[in-house]
């Protein structure tokens, strides 16, 4: 629960330092005041960013450099008030979005009595056709400890974090879905045959109040942020069938019990970790590749964790930035940057969206990524950054030259196997294009390379950097 922590730390909040990201980084404010109580976000393969407004039930769209006035969709929710932890809480995009146009949401029904997992479909740029996927009564709701974070695994499964609904006994009760991480097949929330408990959606148990869930872009393992009680907050590696100890244990056990999993790191005094993601872009220095980030609600910080090679231990924790307000969602965007939701007006939910860019990103630049994490049988998104009004022509290849070929336009690294459509840069200095990747197992582990040529406003042709994505899934 965040509210008591806010009251306890109100004096600290008034003296938070100005933003101070590492050398070479800058924070770009993209929108202030157009969002209300936003807590989660997810990119569509075509570059549109969907954002959930917890209290209003609106799903907003950031596109062409601005938050669109008309919501992508609106759900009837019970938002519970400024500091409640209920309402429209989670969002995830189907890996097969280019074919089925599906988006999944976690929200508190208008009655306030239960949380629902639903599915919407993108039609002509708007979401419609809400289908409720979990059975009534399977996720009872309270004003706090609802959970709602969602992530797509490299296995194409949907992982959903739930809170204990203010009743700690739920976390150890295998007859309900509260205080658990759940795992479903898509698009209908089926129970995967290889779930750790036969016939059950439960993937892990013993959780109190989860706010963040994310997939490692290389290993596919699931990681989580969890608010403890009065003693310690946690970040966890979620192992199938793992029991994370609540309410018996909080933080690292004083006497080891093999029945329970310890967190990778604990934080005392409590920091209230919320949104989380791994950075998977090309445009930051190498030490940031696959680094783990989470928002620190209490201290208004964005923290970075460095894992060991196995991903089973935290070897370093640093403060990446200090902010004027609390942080919520964070995501590694298809433009190769971290996107961040924050708010300096109090309450639970953001009114500002921004992104961190690095001075070393070339102009123009290219980035290839998979917004769902899964690539095989899903899609890749090509993003080219240039000046608004310029024209870019991107292409893909399964190979790359061993050394650059000097041309009058710059260094050519990527041969042309598949030429993508020519794209105009219309807003936000970026253009996006999504293309499907066949479900051919032989592609696993191979690399897809992207490069583009830009026709500048001065009439020059300039090559971008090459970008690489390893096919996983």
Give the Cα separation of 148 and 159 in Å (integer). 10
349 alpha carbon, distance to own chain's centre:
16
Cβ neighbours of residue 269 closer than 8 Å, sequence gap 6 or more: none
- Name the CATH architecture for the domain at 365-470: Single Sheet (2.20)
Query: Which pLDDT does position 1 carry in this prediction?
Result: 57
Q: Where are the domains of the chain?
A: 3-358, 365-470
pLDDT lower than 50: segments of the chain? 3-17
- According to the model, what pLDDT value does residue 2 have? 61
Three-class secondary structure of residue 287 per DSSP: helix
Res 18: pLDDT: 56
Which residues 6+ apart lie within 8 Å of 63 measured at CB?
47, 48, 49, 427
Q: Which CATH superfamily is domain 3-358 in?
A: TolB, C-terminal domain (2.120.10.30)
Model's pTM, two decimal places? 0.96
CA distances from 256 to 152, 187, 208, 261, 310 (A): 32, 40, 20, 9, 22
C-alpha 375/C-alpha 450 separation (Å) is: 15
What does the angle CA 397 – CA 401 – CA 403 come to, to the nearest 5 degrees? 150
15-24 long-range contacts, Cβ below 8 Å, gap at least 24?
16/299, 16/300, 16/322, 16/323, 16/324, 17/322, 18/322, 18/324, 19/321, 19/322, 19/323, 19/324, 20/321, 20/322, 21/320, 21/321, 21/356, 22/320, 24/285, 24/358, 24/359, 24/360
């Amino acid at each position: 629960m965040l509210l008591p922590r806010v009251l306890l730390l109100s004096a600290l909040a008034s003296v938070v330092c100005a933003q101070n990201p590492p050398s070479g980084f800058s924070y770009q404010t993209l929108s202030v005041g157009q969002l209300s109580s936003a807590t989660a976000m997810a990119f569509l393969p075509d570059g549109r960013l969907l954002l959930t407004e917890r209290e209003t039930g609106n799903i907003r769209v950031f596109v062409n450099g601005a938050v669109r006035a008309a919501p992508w969709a609106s759900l009837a929710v019970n938002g519970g008030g400024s500091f409640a932890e209920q309402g429209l809480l989670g969002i995830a995009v189907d890996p097969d979005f280019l074919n089925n146009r599906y988006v999944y949401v976690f929200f508190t029904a208008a009655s306030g009595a239960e949380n629902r997992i639903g599915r919407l479909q993108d039609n002509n740029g708007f979401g419609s056709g809400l289908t409720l996927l979990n059975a009534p009564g399977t996720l009872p709701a309270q004003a706090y400890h609802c959970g709602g974070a969602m992530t797509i695994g490299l296995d194409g499964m949907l992982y959903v974090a739930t809170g204990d609904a203010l009743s700690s006994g739920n976390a150890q009760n295998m007859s309900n879905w509260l205080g658990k991480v759940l795992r479903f097949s898509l698009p209908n929330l089926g129970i995967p045959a290889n779930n750790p408990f036969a016939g059950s959606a439960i993937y892990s148990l013993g959780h109190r109040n989860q706010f963040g869930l994310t997939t490692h872009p290389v290993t596919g393992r699931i990681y989580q942020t969890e608010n403890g009680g009065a003693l310690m907050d946690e970040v966890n590696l979620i192992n199938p069938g793992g029991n994370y100890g609540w309410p018996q244990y909080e933080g690292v056990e004083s006497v080891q019990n093999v029945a329970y999993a310890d967190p990778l790191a604990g934080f005392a005094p409590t920091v209230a970790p919320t949104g989380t993601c791994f950075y998977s872009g090309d445009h930051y220095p190498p030490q940031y590749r696959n680094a783990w980030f989470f928002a620190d609600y209490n201290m208004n910080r964005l923290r970075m964790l460095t894992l060991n090679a196995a991903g089973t231990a935290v070897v370093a924790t640093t403060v990446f930035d200090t902010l004027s307000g609390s942080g919520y969602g964070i995501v590694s965007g298809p433009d190769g940057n971290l996107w961040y939701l924050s708010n300096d007006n109090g309450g639970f939910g953001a009114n500002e969206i921004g992104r961190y860019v690095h001075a070393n990103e070339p102009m123009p630049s290219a980035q290839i990524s998979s917004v769902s994490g899964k690539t095989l049988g899903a899609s890749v998104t090509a993003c080219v950054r240039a000046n608004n009004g310029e024209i870019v022509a991107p292409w893909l290849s399964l190979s790359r030259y061993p050394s650059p070929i000097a041309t009058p336009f710059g260094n050519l690294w990527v041969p042309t196997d598949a030429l993508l459509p020519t794209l105009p840069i219309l807003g936000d200095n970026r253009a996006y294009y999504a293309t499907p990747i066949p479900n051919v197992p032989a592609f696993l582990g191979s690399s897809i390379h992207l490069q583009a040529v830009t026709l500048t406003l001065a009439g020059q042709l300039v090559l971008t950097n090459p970008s690489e994505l390893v096919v996983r899934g």
